[in-house]
Structure 1
Amino acid sequence: MSVDGAARSLRILAVDDEPRALLDVRRQLERSPLVASVETATGARDALVKLSGARYDGLFLDVQMPEIKGMALARLLRRFTEPPAVVFLTGHPSAAVEAFEVEAVDFLVKPVGRDRLQTALERVHAHARARRPQAAPAEAAAPAPAGVEEPARGTGGPDVVAVDAPRGGAKRLVRLDAITTVQANGDYARIACDDGRYLLRVPLTTLESEWEPAGFARVHRGWLVNLRRAVELRGEVNGTAVLALDDGTEVPVARRHVAALRRRLQV
């Protein structure tokens, strides 16, 4: 395939939990005349952070990773407005059928040769070239509840977080817009969302700063709330307040947060 006019145009994200394998694929990708830049992630959770904040043309993804498998991440990408082309990397050829079920553009068996990697990059380039001229205007976002500020949106797709299921030690991917409240629970944060309750081993103060662009606000020492789910703010006689959410949950609002919350909700 000729690369005239396409030299150094692709932005690639490579994901593998094995440092040596990740370094090897990065070096090979950087040698290609099609590749402009290569970023790396050591797992699916790290990859999701990068994918939610930037746009990539191709995702070179290891199939077998701890916590969240490559296939699960690929399925999640289908929810993105403009998902990258997925190329799987694996030492297990038996996973090929499942890879093409999630519409991967290629499936590479480790160790990957230079020519075979270049073929995969050409497919990524073809995918990107076909998508760009036909890119449709972004779908209009659903309006936020009356008076609630619209949160900033990443360019890569919906923000997600990997949480711990209460039993069994499994990981689950949850969209931030599906979360209603986050409650401090010792070293963990207790996540309440549309389909259940989960745990996240991250301090509430960290989530407060990281999730603020997505519409979350600290309303109490022990509570973080998704303001897009707010329906009513009721003042109390002692200067505190109660925030009601669209799922029926009511959260206490500390006195020192009431004024800032009223300004943000414009009530």
Structure 2
Amino acid sequence: MIRAVIVDDEPPALDELAYLLSRFPDIEVAAAAESGREAVEAIVRVRPDLVFLDIEMPGMNGFQVLHELMVRGRPPLVVFATAFDEHAIRAFEENTVDYILKPIALERLGKTMERVRMLLDRPQRCEGDGSLESLLARVGLFPCGGTGIVRIAAEDEGRNILLTPDEVLYFNSQDRRVLAHTAEAAYPCGPGISLEKLEERLSCFDFFRVNRSDLINLSFVRSFAPWHSGKYVITMRYRDATEIVLSKSRVRQFRAALGI
């Protein structure tokens, strides 16, 4: 039997997932939790093989639960349940962690369980799974092998907001102020934040300084092409396909960063 813990802050969603899992005779739901903190306590107590973990929860979200479990030692297999769209879930695609989009379909759950069985049948799972650390790094946890949290302070109509590196398409310096451009809008970064400081702070993420004024997230590059005087023009995804100039002196490093 595969012992599982299910986590969601919405009781109806918990009930639905428990019902769907009951359709699989080799799965036992050993515990259920409605918050991140309850989830950590239940997982430590039950020591399950598998956790179905909601991402958006008040207080401690799903990524922070996984972070806590990794700090404590080797975590169980984790399947994230998420309502994120394709843009947001690309972070999962290169990792051993699986994800299921809400509302959960029985057929998709069946494919997830096939993957879980395959992973559990391996003779030995690697300690300190680097792919999990990669995933957490992309959402702002475990930066450069550390245990802190990376957030970029910005402003939105008088409010202070915190952006994760994975949200930012690119940073642009304008009139002594840095703007963080996301898929939705551009937000002024907090005072004292410069491109130089961001470049250093985000060195373990997929950011690249293309010129004096722009620091881009390579994950959002759609295309690039020669322009003039040895320069290139980069087209970004989202935000009306923004075009950014790549300095001639940075072309070789840019290609190397993309692995081409």
- Identify the TM-score tier after normalising by the shorter chain: 0.3 to 0.5
Greater RCO, 1 or 2 (C-alpha within 8 Å, sep 6+): 1
TM-score of the superposed pair, with normalisation by structure 1: 0.46
